[in-house]
Amino acid sequence: MELLVAIFPFFFASAFVAGLRQLLRGNAAGLMAFIVFALPLYFTSLSVSYMLGLGTYIPVLQATKELMVVVALAVIVWQLNRRFKPTTTDWILILYVAYAALYLFVPSGFSFKERLLAFKGLAFFPVVYFAGRLVDPGQINLRKWLSYICVVTIVAGALVAYEALSGEHLQQHTGYADYNLNFFNMEPAGNFGLTWTFETGSGHKRFASFYSMPLEHAAATLISASAIFALSYKRLGRFRLSPLLIVTALATLLSIAFALSRASFVGYFIMLYVYAFAAGKRSWLMGINAMIGVGVLAWMVWIKGDILGWVLETIQFADTSSMSHLLEWIDGIQAMIANPFGLGLGTSGRVSGAFGENIGGENQLIIIGVQLGFVGVALYAAAYVTVIWNGILAFRNSNGKEARLGLMLFLSRVGLIIPLFTSEVESYIYISYLLWFLSGLLVNMQVKTKRVHAEAIAVGY
């Protein structure tokens, strides 16, 4: 099994080298290659490397993701041949980074190095955004990369099907627990020697495929579903599914069912409903309802008829997972009210979690709010909302590549709203990097379209 799982760090390293070579040759698509092919395997690759005795190189492997973005941004800026004019979304993210940077110099009970790590976790995604914002859109073949996302989704679905049939988590063979203990100070927990997130409150297994945890696996499925819609959407309300997209759709259903994430399950079907209304596909509603029925039936079979009790416990916050979320939210909100400008970097999220002092639990907005206060939350929420609005505008008013990208971002961001409240979504590297890069790319394309129209009008006059 060790030889078999060694494919993960090998594939990760290969994607890194291939992507870096493309970047150094001036092709920004190298960053997309790294994001799509390497980042889904990031955590598993690191844990396997540690298991194989390569612990000395873990810090180097951890730094590859930031290195790729910085190199990509440097190459993109070097190639830039036009004046940069910030948009509303740009200014919001610039203010967010600047505001968070001030907290590097505010004592929070953590060392400067720890505050720097917390700052990176909170405020690196705007760097990814600006890589997409400044890149030449012609270098990014959107259809190709969305198709590659589908391929990754199919592989993830096949792996999770194997996990479900065998009854074993992949992470039981990848050094997951030892890696977590040595690098994040997280003791093994739960009935399977991993963490509690790999099982429900009633003890049923939740599978992560090759992602870092079932929650990331489920959230990544929302991205895949939005990619299906983007690839299949045609103007005039037409919708065409190719064999690749049909298989991808089946893979997303497998993944969302066996990851057993309630937030992502709800988000998945919210996306379907939103698309049905946005694209004028009201006739789809009966089919969507049927899919929900099939999904619930599959869950009933998988968790042996306990679905009703599980749903009721969720609604009533009676199970341990829901109750812990509720208590952690209350702690976080109380901390924000008592300290409206925040407690400082590191007081919530992964840094404080490594010391067992986390405040606010797994809620992206509260994690930001505890550290940066209400201003930080407002800036993040504003950026999130403007990305959704940009997607709506592109979908309604544009054609081709821009419309597809707008549809994908609109649906994925809407689908991830509920997971935002139950997990630290920005810590899911693959999801965060992919969506923020594409968000920047969409704004880039919208600005270019406006410029072309303005030039055409000027010439006409």
Cα separation, 56 vs 50, in Å, equals: 8
Nearest Cα to 36, choosing from 156, 130, 163, 169?
A: 156
Which H or E element spans position 284?
none
Q: How far is residue 93's CA from residue 96's CA, in Å, rounded to a whole number?
A: 5
Written as tens digits, the pLDDT of the chain (461 aa) is 666 788 999 999 999 999 999 999 999 999 999 999 999 999 999 999 999 999 899 999 999 999 999 999 999 999 888 888 899 999 999 999 999 999 999 887 888 888 999 999 999 999 999 999 999 998 999 999 999 999 999 999 999 999 999 989 999 999 999 999 888 888 888 888 888 888 877 677 899 999 999 999 999 999 999 999 899 877 545 667 788 988 998 999 889 888 888 788 888 888 887 887 776 666 655 565 666 666 555 555 555 545 555 555 554 455 556 666 677 788 888 989 999 999 989 888 777 776 667 777 678 999 999 999 999 999 999 999 999 999 999 988 888 889 999 999 999 999 999 999 888 899 999 999 999 999 999 999 998 888 776 666 766 55
Q: What is the extent of the structural domain holding 421? A: 2-460
Gap between the Cα atoms of 42 and 434, Å rounded: 14
Q: What phi and psi values does residue 192 have, to the nearest 5 degrees?
A: -115, 10
Up-side HSE of residue 262: CA atoms within 13 Å toward CB? 18
Residue 168: Cβ within 10 Å count: 14
Q: How far apart are CA 255 and CA 1, in angstroms?
A: 23
Report yes or no: 423 and 129 within 8 Å, Cβ to Cβ.
Answer: no
Q: How many domains does the chain have?
A: 1
**Closest to 33 measured CA to CA, from 137, 140, 121, 136:** 140
Tokens 């939005």: give the residue. Answer: 226
- Going from the C-alpha of 56 to that of each of 61, 62, 114, 252, the distances in angstroms are 10, 11, 20, 36
Predicted pLDDT of residue 237: 55
Assign 3-class secondary structure to 369-393: HHHHHHHHHHHHHHHHHHHHHHHHH
Query: Quick one: which of 461, 130, 415, 84 has its CA closest to 407?
Result: 415
Dihedral Cα 223, 303, 211, 8, nearest 10 deg: -130
Q: What's the CA gap between 168 and 429, in Å, rounded?
A: 25
Q: Is the Cβ–Cβ distance between 434 and 440 less than 8 Å?
A: no
Percentage helix, strand, coil for the chain under 3-state DSSP, each rounded to 5: 75, 0, 20
Nearest Cα residue to 225 out of 295, 298, 122: 295
Nearest to 433 by CA among 64, 25, 44: 64
How do residues 107-150 score in pLDDT, each as one tens digit? Answer: 878 888 889 999 999 999 999 999 999 999 989 999 999 999 99
pLDDT digits (tens, 9 = 90+) for 40-51: 999 999 999 999
Collapse the DSSP code of 205 into the 3-class scheme (helix H, G, I; strand E, B; otherwise coil) and give the result: strand
Residue tagged 């990544």 (tokens): 220
